[in-house]
Amino acid sequence: MINKETNNNGAGCSQCQDTPELEFQFSMAFQPIVDISSKTIFGYEALVRGINQEPAIEVLNKLNNDNRYQFDQTIRVKALQLSSELNLEGMLSINFLPNAVYNPKTCIRTTLEAARKLNFPTDRIMFEVTEAEKITDHAHLKNIFAEYKKHNFTTAIDDFGSGYAGLNLLADWQPDIIKLDMGLVRHIDTDPVRQALVRAMITACLGLDIKVIAEGIETKEELKTLINMDVVLFQGYLLARPQFEALPEITEEVWQTISHAQAN
């Protein structure tokens, strides 16, 4: 975690005021999350890309302890700006770096100011933290999400089932949404072990009033299997690939595929 101290008036440390601009540029691609129960687009996830559409890893490899905080702040504003320009409706999902948040109350101010200027409602912003990122201070993460809920943000755990904490995260605090890791989703239609694990996760989440998104859907069989497990929110190449600085639509052919999977 970045070590920054707050000043006496609680407005944040002077180091943050002097943080230089990022030495690299980036942009976003957007991928829809589909609600099959209402045949609508639930929202879009903003995915980091290089300015020439380079993959996210090429951008993330440029992060270090000196620029991580500024990148985390910039990615939120960038996602909001592009979403506003594209007239995004529904939820905007933004990935954030919890280890870059030194003080939840202070570090959220830039996001709130950007949302206010763009007239983007905070209840249409979802913050995802990936379970794959090693987080040693669970209390700090819990405080971040508690602060975000005060501002009506939706909270989510991405890549659930892939990383370091597993069900311990749900025991400590409950997000609004979990996104099943694509490693669990892949070939779930032919894998009884994956089916048993995912079914148990879904049952736990339903009991805790947590919505489930199945991400990484690539085949009709995966879609059908998860529909039969009562999942209604989906994301993946079968439905739509991310588009650079654009909002992909769901084609009529895809809607028909969904309807067929629901009927069988």
What is the value of pTM for the model shown? 0.89
* pLDDT (0 to 100) of residue 245: 98
* pLDDT (0 to 100) of residue 170: 78
**27: Cα separation from own chain's centroid:** 16
* pLDDT (0 to 100) of residue 45: 98
Burial of 8 by CB count in 10 Å (0-12 exposed, 13-18 middle, 19+ buried)? exposed
Three-class SS state of 221: helix
How far apart (Å, rounded) are the C-alpha atoms in residues 46 and 26? 12
* pLDDT (0 to 100) of residue 101: 79
Q: Could you tell me the residue ranges of all domains in the chain?
A: 14-263
How far apart (Å, rounded) are the C-alpha atoms in residues 51 and 229? 39
Average pLDDT, consecutive stretches of 10 residues, N- to C-terminus, the chain (264 residues): 38 48 93 97 98 95 90 94 97 88 84 96 92 64 88 92 67 88 94 95 92 97 97 98 98 97 92
How far apart (Å, rounded) are the C-alpha atoms in residues 76 and 128? 11
How far apart (Å, rounded) are the C-alpha atoms in residues 213 and 215? 6
The fold adopted by the segment(s) 14-263 is TIM Barrel (3.20.20)
The answer to whether 49 and 95 are in contact (CB under 8 A) is: no
The secondary structure element, H or E, covering residue 227 is helix 220-227
How far apart (Å, rounded) are the C-alpha atoms in residues 201 and 208? 11
Backbone angle region of 189, left / alpha / beta, with phi > 0 → left and psi within -120 to 50 → alpha? alpha
* pLDDT (0 to 100) of residue 3: 41
The answer to whether 244 and 27 are in contact (CB under 8 A) is: yes
